Structure 1
Amino acid sequence: MKAVVYQGVETLVYEDVPDATPAFGEHLIRIEAVGVCGSDMHAFLGHDARRPAPLILGHEAAGTIVGGPRDGTRVTINPLVTCGVCPACKAGRENLCPDRQIISMPPRDGAFAQFVAMPETNLVEVPDHVSFEQAALAEPLAVSWHAVRLGLEALHPAMDRQALVIGGGAIGVAAALALKAADVQDVVIVEPNAARRTYLQRFDAFHAVEATTDSFALVIDAVGYSATRAAASQLVAPGGVIAHVGLGEDTGGLDVRRMTLQEITFIGTYTYTAEDFRNTAQAIFDGRLGPLDWIEQRALSDAPDAFRDLRTGAVAAPKIILAPWD
């Protein structure tokens, strides 16, 4: 099969690799659409020791089951594979499973390929009216759905339900749409890239701005750099909540003194639970997250150029979706 393999820092190669082979309890999935994630970019730049070369990246995918009793079933993929028996899994907090694996991280190759093997429990059937490109957005949308759920659960009921999202990439846009689906009417996205900000200003669900000095009850950092954490610390209202999703930079930025004196809650959020993923998929199917047309489509063979364009900020759309069969 064809795949895009990360071969070293800033080196992606489109090449032939051994066919994916499903283990017991797994299905072979023909990938029809796969998104480029920020974590893929971190690996591409050599910033993620968890993703050593050579490795097939990609974990935001949808496709069709090949073979077996469910042959031809359209599915979206929850890429987080967990044990199912530890205390975290039994509590419905599978994202905290100590033995969790995710495709695009050893020992599991990712979905920048024509096929991938996945357990039955990681597949959600996709209705015919939903495109594979929309279905592939279930994973990044679930990341933000989870963050929004935790943030709103932590928010004091006396506080106004208004939110700031830092970063207008896919996770930030997904967070804004999840907030809107949760009936948060006042949502602002801060996005410094002028081309992307202009692209986002066509959305009715939120306001895209270059910067703000207003304070917000809930701030979602969808970038995760020192500078964005500093902004979150400054812009969150007293008694408010910061939900931290991004993994751009490990340290720095938080104003711990202000957070302590103003009783600001900080929540680190990682991926999603299995229920969050299913609920996100259903929200896609029901149309509660909008038309999900904020993507740019390219062939999988064009992945090296796509990564270079993303790095230079030349892509206005929040998400690039790759097609393995084009």
Structure 2
Amino acid sequence: MKALLYESSQNLRFCEQPNSIADNDNTLIDVNAVGICGSDMHAYLGHDERRPPPLILGHEAAGMLPSGARVTVNPLVVCETCDYCRAGRSNLCLQRQIISMPPRAGAFAEQLAIPPQNIVPLPNSLSLQQGSLAEPLACGHHTAGLGVVHSRRSLAECQTAVLGGGAIGLASALSLTARGAKEVWIADNNPRRRKALEKTGNFHIVTPEALPTAMDVVIDAVGHEQTRRQASTITAPGGVVVHIGLASADGGFDMRRLTLQEIVLVGSYTYTMTEFKETVEWMGKGKLGALDWFETRPLSDGARAFADLLAGNVAAPKIVLIP
């Protein structure tokens, strides 16, 4: 099969790779659409020790079963038996695996092998390209949900801010709105992206410097030292910071202010299967907007797509590759 292979830092090659294989534990999917995630970019830059080359990256996939059924994929493979899985927190499974991370190859390829329980049917109202957005939207769904759980007031009464207007930031903003938030601000440094974000929903789109303070719920969808510092600064006393960005591991949080103002800080990682299925349901019902905020490119042009993302030459929050 043809695949986009990550070979070394900033080096991707479109080439032949061994075919994916169905077995007693995995079903074969013909991949029709797969998104580029920020974590793919981290690996591409050599910043993710969990994804050593050579490796097929990509985990935001939709495609077709041999039966012809149209499906999207929950890339998080869990044991279903540990305490976390049994408690409904499968995203924290002690044996969790994710495609695009050893030992599982990713979806930047013509085919993908995945356990059947990780396959979710697509509503007829969604295209396969839109189906590939289910994974980042589920991340945003989980993140916004944590904001709801830890907030001191209802979302309808909250001022909310999202730092970063990529797919995860936009997904978080869309989910906040779907859950009842009236005031949602999105801050992004890229002027081309800010212009594209203006078409995605009823959001205040600003530069990071223009964000107001006294926000009740702040989502850091970037995870740089500077965004964590800003989250510490703009969150109101008793407010919530939900941190999902994985750009860097260290620095930024003003722990003294978080302590003195009793600001809740909570990490967010992926989603449960229940949340993933609910996300697909919301997508099909139009609760998460038009889902038209991506651009498509052929998988064979994947290396150029990564280079364009790194250079800031992409306006769309998401690039979807087509094998």
Is structure 2 residue 36 aligned with structure 1 residue 41? Answer: no
What does residue 316 of structure 2 align with?
A: 317
> In structure 2, the residue corresponding to 1:12 is in which secondary structure?
strand
Please show how residues 1-326 of structure 1 align to structure 2 within 5 Å: 1-66=1-66, 71-157=67-153, 160-210=157-207, 211-324=210-323
Q: Which amino acid aligns with 2:293?
A: W
* More displaced 10-residue stretch of structure 1: 208-217 or 247-256: 208-217
CA distance in 2, matches of 1:220, 1:203: 18
> In structure 1, the residue corresponding to 2:65 is in which secondary structure?
strand
* More displaced 10-residue stretch of structure 1: 128-137 or 311-320: 128-137
Q: Which amino acid aligns with 2:203?
A: F
**C-alpha contact 2:185 2:211 (8 A) present in aligned 1:** no
1:201 to partner: Cα distance: 1.7
CA offset digits 1:34-81 (Å, max 9, x no partner): 000000000000000000000000000000112xxxx11111000000
CA distance in 2, matches of 1:207, 1:157: 21
1:157 to partner: Cα distance: 2.5
**C-alpha contact 1:177 1:205 (8 A) present in aligned 2:** no
CA distance in 2, matches of 1:189, 1:162: 11
Give me the CA root mean square deviation: 1.0
> In structure 2, the residue corresponding to 1:248 is in which secondary structure?
coil
* More displaced 10-residue stretch of structure 1: 6-15 or 19-28: 19-28
Aligned identity (percent) is 51
Q: TM-score, normalised by structure 2?
A: 0.97
**C-alpha contact 1:31 1:114 (8 A) present in aligned 2:** yes
CA distance in 2, matches of 1:44, 1:100: 22
**C-alpha contact 2:100 2:106 (8 A) present in aligned 1:** yes
> In structure 2, the residue corresponding to 1:34 is in which secondary structure?
strand
CA distance in 2, matches of 1:158, 1:139: 26
1:158 to partner: Cα distance: 7.1
Q: Which amino acid aligns with 1:127?
A: P
User: Any stretches of 5+ residues in structure 1 without a counterpart?
Assistant: none
CA distance in 1, matches of 2:111, 2:214: 46
> In structure 1, the residue corresponding to 2:186 is in which secondary structure?
strand
Q: Which amino acid aligns with 1:265?
A: V
Runs of 4+ in 1 over 4 A off after TM superposition: none
CA distance in 1, matches of 2:88, 2:238: 28
> In structure 1, the residue corresponding to 2:306 is in which secondary structure?
helix
**C-alpha contact 1:28 1:117 (8 A) present in aligned 2:** yes
**C-alpha contact 1:176 1:205 (8 A) present in aligned 2:** no
